[in-house]
Amino acid sequence: MSDSQENAENCKLRAFEKNNYFYGKLMTVRDFVLEQQYYNDKRWLINNLLFGSGTVCGLNVSSVDMNIIVKSGFAIDKCGRRSSYQRM
């Protein structure tokens, strides 16, 4: 599977599944993972629909003597996930 096919699979819109809590419920790892996945998927959808993909700020790229320099910045990928890069 190529990278573009794999990315397309990862970016597919899927139904949101929210955890149903009730008094006395025995919490398992799946419950905690499901809760985190629900909020991540919602945030990624909003990021993608409202802002689209690309560089939000920074991430200036330059070339100096056969070296590539990437400056600090923030971007959103085509799935709506955010990523930041901070130079140390």
Domain boundaries, the chain: 3-85
Residue type, 20: N
Task: Report yes or no on whether pTM surpasses 0.95.
Answer: no
- State pLDDT tens for residues 10-35: 666 667 778 788 899 899 998 898 88
Residues 6+ apart with CB under 8 A from 80: 43, 44, 45, 46, 47, 48, 49, 53
Confidence check: pLDDT of 7 > 60 = no
Using CA atoms, how far apart are residues 81 and 47, in angstroms rounded to an integer? 7
